[in-house]
Amino acid sequence: MANLQSTTTSTYELIATEVYSPGSGVTPWHMIYMCPSVTTTDWIHIRTPLPATNQSGGSGWNPSIVEVKGSHSYLGEFTYDFQAVINSSGDAANNWYGSQIRINRGNTDGVIRPLPVVYKSTSTYSSYERVCIALPKVAGCYAGWSWIRWWNNTAILDTSAWATLGTTSSASAF
């Protein structure tokens, strides 16, 4: 268990656990528990170890799917069950394509809630910009769990650390 602190917004307790399914052709599930100590934030941002830019491992022009399941808050106001197609160009332009999100299931209480956001970090971590996910949450002291995995391009994951932080916006936080 590690305490990760954002210099601008809030502190989260982060626990990441891998659940592996041999021979499945996808990465193991990465389970992340988030408990905000600052309760005024409306978004949880997760920085993943997946490079969002072309690299020698071949991420350019080779789409991946990031899959997220989970929930935040005691009453399940925010549930996550979606897949996002992500890609970068394989040329020097290094363009990012990450806004294609397919929501599998929404909340059942009839309230319209913000959609999750998948974005490329604005800073580099271990020489690469990273795939980041912004999940809406209830402002308050509520815990949440998320499970994240990738389809395709599993070989380009590296040892860059996972990180989380809370903000008041879905805009790029990493």
Residue 62: the pLDDT is: 76
The two structure tokens encoding residue 74: 């005691």
The two structure tokens encoding residue 72: 């935040």
Residue 106: the pLDDT is: 53
Query: How far is residue 130's CA from residue 156's CA, in Å, rounded to a whole number?
Result: 11
More confident residue, 61 or 82: 82
- Is the pTM of the predicted complex or chain greater than 0.85? no
Q: Tell me the residue ranges of DSSP E strands in 61-157.
A: 64-72, 78-88, 96-103, 117-120, 130-136, 144-151
Residue pLDDT, tens place only, 108-139: 556 667 888 999 999 988 888 888 999 888 77
41 vs 114, 120, 164, CA distance in Å? 14, 21, 12
Give the SS3 label for residue 155. Answer: helix
Give the SS3 label for residue 104. Answer: coil
Half-sphere exposure of 52 (CA within 13 A, CB side): 25
Query: How far is residue 10's CA from residue 37's CA, in Å, rounded to a whole number?
Result: 7
Residue 123: the pLDDT is: 92
Report whether 117 contacts 35 (CB < 8 A). Answer: no
**Residue 154 pLDDT class (50, 70, 90 cuts):** low
Domain boundaries, the chain: 2-167
Q: At which residue do the structure tokens 């789409």 appear?
A: 63
